[in-house]
Amino acid sequence: MTEIGQARPRSEDARLVTGRTRWTDNITPAGTLHVAYLRSPHAHARIDRVDVEAAKARPNVVAVLSGADFAAEQGALPCAWQVTEDMKLPAHPPMAVDEVRYVGEPVACVVARDRYSAVDALEDIDVDYTPLPTVVDMERAIEDGADLVHSDLGTNASYTWVFEQGDLDAALRDAPVLLERRFVQQRLIPTAMEPRAVLCEPDGSGPNTDFTLYSATQIPHILRLMLSVVTEIPEHRIRVVAPDVGGGFGSKLQVYGEEVLALLLARRLGRPVKWTESRSEGNMAVHHGRDQIQKVTLAAERDGRIRGLKVELLADMGAYLMLVTPGVPLLGAFMFNGIYKMDAYSFTCTGVFTNKTPTDAYRGAGRPEATFAIERLMDELAAELGVDPVEVRRRNWIAHEEFPFETIAGLTYDTGNYEAATEKALALFEYDKLRAEQNDRRESGDPVQLGIGVSTYTEMCGLAPSRVLGSLSYGAGGWEHASVRVLPTGKVEVVTGSSAHGQGHETAWAQIAADRLGVPFDDVRVLHGDTAVSPKGMDTYGSRSLAVGGVALYRACDKVVDKARTIAAHLLEASEDDLEFSAGRFSVRGVGDAGLSIQEITQAAFAAHNLPDGLEPSLDSDATHDPDNFSFPHGTHLCAVEIDTETGFTKIRKYVAVDDVGNVVNPLIVEGQVHGGLAQGIAQALYEEAVYDADGNLTTTTMADYLVPSAADLPSFTTDRTETPAAGNPLGVKGVGEAGTIASTPAVVNAIVDGLRPFGVRDVPMPCTPERVWNALREGGDR
């Protein structure tokens, strides 16, 4: 069978795109109560008094509760990543009790018989606040005498984490070329299409109550464990269901206060409770992404070869550390070196508290930031030396014959072929032709200038080897689980612990099972996202589903085939060694038509009338896969922009992405992931930014202010692939969920800076809005 590699349209799409499915908000058991949250209008304030009496008296209101009402039972939201021994980890109550530390933090809630009554009653809750000094700026936050987000900690620095390899001082000393740059990774709002929603349904009473919690989450398994830890409700009494989930991009890789509170409210009231956020509420209360200030120093020889790289980061944690907040920037520590060889590397990161929404994982999580810095630097180096930016990369990258290669950051890149991807990209892009056009426009003084940007990225994904996670002090492992159930009629149910929220698992996993078992694609059903159905799993993030979960399924399928072989040999009275398995059928090598289909063996296993002695009558299997290494997709992205120098408007003229994500199970899904990833990375370069004012108010609470581009704003992408199989897994797959996002941001900004270089411009802060480009032109021109 060759199901693997087929460009099958996704079987889940019809129900997802029509919305005729089970989103959490579509599920309303009889008697459901509706929750609405009152959120802090202050970035930092003491809560002096919360008066809920008037709100309680409103029609249809069942309960009005403030943080004090939950104080004894709400525990603290978890942070699973103690990145240093002395990391400052402030208590993070699901609902604020004494003090609020960011605009949008929950302060009280109304539970009512309908959603309208709940929201209306919020207006009658009276809260007295005493405003406290607000910390907004990361750099000022760590100055002596700065106001504090958490006064009891005595500092706004949560941790400082250091990694050093090689002699950086020697590399910097007398370096023929020394580039120092400061890049700002603006704060982003993940903006999944489906806002968060939680429904908790209690069953029973007293300590034996069972709770079913539906949530628009990426992580039903981790959430179940964490809810149990936080609330002390026994884990086996909690079932978490992630029904169809409309995107996450990391924002639903979280344990949110509203999830904990849903459980507590359901317990307290003995009725189902539901909460669905609005977009503007979500913009304030869903964790944000990025937000780093990067000071980078690159030392190189005159011929362009890199000597060493020094990275000093400030990473904005926001007001609290959430599930993996402190670890996100550190994922970048292993990526600042990119695909390049160098002798010395130093990385220092300080996590800083501010009175803003907490940050955490957002598509790429630490790796886009790192990739941006090194890819921007490579273009800067090329400009400094007067060498083509592709050529300067060629002089530094790991040659394909050098793999496996241990990098300066301590990772071992298993495979890769940067030369092949780059050659293909250059040809598709018609690089030389565009350079010639750029030259013409420069010479003629065309008001519309052309810029060309390069990004030869790699990334570490397939999170992750459990032992490596342990060495980084992460609180859990990175394995994944799958099981295969072969039903009596020969149909197959696949259960995966990887929790799809738009990625297309139901199609890709069915392809793997169909391929390995030799059954028709339509005979496979994929089950996921419910801890009662899929008891084990580490869920979906970090481009891990296929490279970890898909491989677990591959292994589970092999176990089915192995057992079927034993039964087939018994029934065919042949030696197992003489059996061939092909297209779902066992046959005896060299013996004409004799053979058995996997369905016939299934029936034999089900009847159990005639099985080998001691063999269990079942073909079902389980497998848990824990990889030895990350996987390392890579690729070359080239972007051409047209810059209107009169207005500063940037238009992407051409975008070529050649990605190497290893072997491909479904090319359509891969292409879709690349397109979406590019859109999100381009969005960081050109459009999106979460903006806070000096008082810590988020000013981009609606989509009129937080600009998410649509198809109308993006070019037609040219995508292609090279396929260098990953060495670390039998499928040879790497992961594609984040690659486009990681690669595209620097490609676009490099293109803009390239276009403006003749005007004296060498950087434009992101997002490169028309006004910022116009300002850069004015300032550059003055130089």
Partner 1 sequence: MIPPTFDYLRPTTLDEALRMLPDAGEDAKVLAGGQSLMPLLRLRLAYPDALVDLDRVDELRAIRDDGDAIVIGATATHHQVMHDPLVREHAPLVARATATVADPAVRHRGTFGGSLAHADPAGDLPAVALALDAVMLARSASGGDREIPARDFFVDWMTTALEPDELLTGVRVPKLGAGWGFHYEKFHRTAQAWAIVGVACAVRRVQGAVEDVRIGLTNMGATPVRATAVEERLGGSTLSDGTLREASAYAGEGTEPPSDLHGSSEYRSHLVQVLTRRALNAASAR
Residue 198 beta carbon to partner 1: minimum distance, rounded to whole angstroms: 17
Residue with tokens 């202050």: 42
Q: Which amino acid is at 661?
A: V
Among 49, 57, 116, 151, binds partner 1 (CB under 8 A): 116
116 vs 173, beta carbon nearer partner 1 = 116
Query: Considering only residues 277-306, where is the footprint of partner 1 by CB under 8 A?
Result: 278, 280
Residue 687 beta carbon to partner 1: minimum distance, rounded to whole angstroms: 6
Among 90, 725, 770, 780, binds partner 1 (CB under 8 A): 770
712 binds partner 1 (CB under 8 A): yes
Q: Which two tokens stand for residue 679?
A: 């859109």
Q: Which two tokens stand for residue 598?
A: 């996997």
449 vs 496, beta carbon nearer partner 1 = 449
What is the pattern of x (binds partner 1, CB under 8 A) and - over residues 630-649? ----------------xx-x
Backbone angles phi, psi at 447, to 5 degrees: -60, -25
175 vs 679, beta carbon nearer partner 1 = 679
103 and 696 Cβ atoms separated by less than 8 Å: yes
Residue with tokens 């994929």: 526
123 vs 402, beta carbon nearer partner 1 = 123
Is the torsion defined by CA of 583, 588, 593, 596 positive or negative? negative
Among 18, 205, 444, 710, binds partner 1 (CB under 8 A): 710
Residue with tokens 């199609």: 507
Residue 117 beta carbon to partner 1: minimum distance, rounded to whole angstroms: 10
Q: How far apart are CA 70 and CA 97, in angstroms?
A: 8
282 vs 627, beta carbon nearer partner 1 = 282
Vertex 771: Cα angle to 765 and 777 (nearest 5) = 75
Residue 468 beta carbon to partner 1: minimum distance, rounded to whole angstroms: 40
HSE (CB half, 13 Å, CA atoms) of 467?
Answer: 5
713 binds partner 1 (CB under 8 A): yes
Q: b/e for 650-660, b at 16 or more Cβ within 10 A?
A: bebbbbbbbbb
Choose one: 116-124, 168-176, 416-424, 487-495; the region binding partner 1 (CB under 8 A): 116-124
709 binds partner 1 (CB under 8 A): yes
702 vs 716, beta carbon nearer partner 1 = 702
Residue 196 beta carbon to partner 1: minimum distance, rounded to whole angstroms: 16
Q: Which two tokens stand for residue 151?
A: 């006064």
205 binds partner 1 (CB under 8 A): no
Residue 709 beta carbon to partner 1: minimum distance, rounded to whole angstroms: 5
Residue 362 beta carbon to partner 1: minimum distance, rounded to whole angstroms: 20
724 and 662 Cβ atoms separated by less than 8 Å: yes
Residue 388 beta carbon to partner 1: minimum distance, rounded to whole angstroms: 32
Among 54, 57, 591, 691, binds partner 1 (CB under 8 A): 691
587 vs 701, beta carbon nearer partner 1 = 701
What is the pattern of x (binds partner 1, CB under 8 A) and - over residues 574-613? ----------------------------------------
Question: In terms of Cα–Cα distance, which of 47, 5, 528 is closest to 241?
Answer: 528
Cα separations (Å) of 361 from 223, 372, 505, 715? 15, 16, 21, 27
Choose one: 75-83, 263-271, 284-292, 698-706; the region binding partner 1 (CB under 8 A): 698-706
Give 482's contacts (C-beta < 8 A, 6+ positions apart): 494, 495, 496, 497, 498, 509, 549, 552, 553, 555, 556, 622, 623, 625
What is the pattern of x (binds partner 1, CB under 8 A) and - over residues 646-665? xx-x----------------
The torsion region of residue 757 among left (phi > 0), alpha (psi -120 to 50) and beta comes to alpha
151 vs 647, beta carbon nearer partner 1 = 647
235 vs 646, beta carbon nearer partner 1 = 646
Give the DSSP per-residue string, 607-667.
Answer: H-SS--TT--S---EEEEE--SS-B--EEEEEEEEEEETTT--EEEEEEEEEEE-BS-S-H
Residue 60 beta carbon to partner 1: minimum distance, rounded to whole angstroms: 12
Give 11's contacts (C-beta < 8 A, 6+ positions apart): 506, 507, 510
Among 702, 730, 760, 781, binds partner 1 (CB under 8 A): 702
Q: How far apart are CA 601 and CA 608, in angstroms?
A: 10
36 vs 335, beta carbon nearer partner 1 = 36
Among 191, 283, 346, 700, binds partner 1 (CB under 8 A): 700
Among 151, 439, 699, 716, binds partner 1 (CB under 8 A): 699
Length of the chain equals 783
Residue 567 beta carbon to partner 1: minimum distance, rounded to whole angstroms: 58
Determine the distance from the C-alpha atom of residue 600 to the mean position of all C-alpha atoms in its chain, rounded to a whole number. 43
84 binds partner 1 (CB under 8 A): no
Determine the distance from the C-alpha atom of residue 148 to the mean position of all C-alpha atoms in its chain, rounded to a whole number. 30
121 vs 726, beta carbon nearer partner 1 = 121
Give 702's contacts (C-beta < 8 A, 6+ positions apart): 279, 280, 283
Among 707, 718, 759, 762, binds partner 1 (CB under 8 A): 707
Residue 777 beta carbon to partner 1: minimum distance, rounded to whole angstroms: 11
Query: Considering only residues 24-83, where is the footprint of partner 1 by CB under 8 A?
Result: 36
Determine the distance from the C-alpha atom of residue 337 to the mean position of all C-alpha atoms in its chain, rounded to a whole number. 21
Backbone angles phi, psi at 394, to 5 degrees: -55, -35
3 vs 124, beta carbon nearer partner 1 = 124
Residue 55 beta carbon to partner 1: minimum distance, rounded to whole angstroms: 15
Choose one: 202-210, 211-219, 356-364, 704-712; the region binding partner 1 (CB under 8 A): 704-712
396 binds partner 1 (CB under 8 A): no
Is the torsion defined by CA of 427, 430, 436, 441 positive or negative? negative
Determine the distance from the C-alpha atom of residue 484 to the mean position of all C-alpha atoms in its chain, rounded to a whole number. 27
716 binds partner 1 (CB under 8 A): no
Helix, strand, or coil here: 767?
coil
120 binds partner 1 (CB under 8 A): yes
The site that binds partner 1 (CB under 8 A) totals a number of residues, namely 27
147 and 135 Cβ atoms separated by less than 8 Å: yes
Residue 213 beta carbon to partner 1: minimum distance, rounded to whole angstroms: 23
Residue 637 beta carbon to partner 1: minimum distance, rounded to whole angstroms: 22
Choose one: 12-20, 466-474, 502-510, 708-716; the region binding partner 1 (CB under 8 A): 708-716
Residue 649 beta carbon to partner 1: minimum distance, rounded to whole angstroms: 7
Cα separations (Å) of 459 from 250, 369, 426, 498, 588? 16, 11, 21, 21, 45
116 vs 235, beta carbon nearer partner 1 = 116
273 vs 601, beta carbon nearer partner 1 = 273
Q: How far apart are CA 759 and CA 778, in angstroms?
A: 9
Binding site for partner 1 (CB under 8 A): 36, 115-116, 119-120, 278, 280, 646-647, 649, 687, 691, 699-700, 702, 704-705, 707-710, 712-713, 769-771, 774
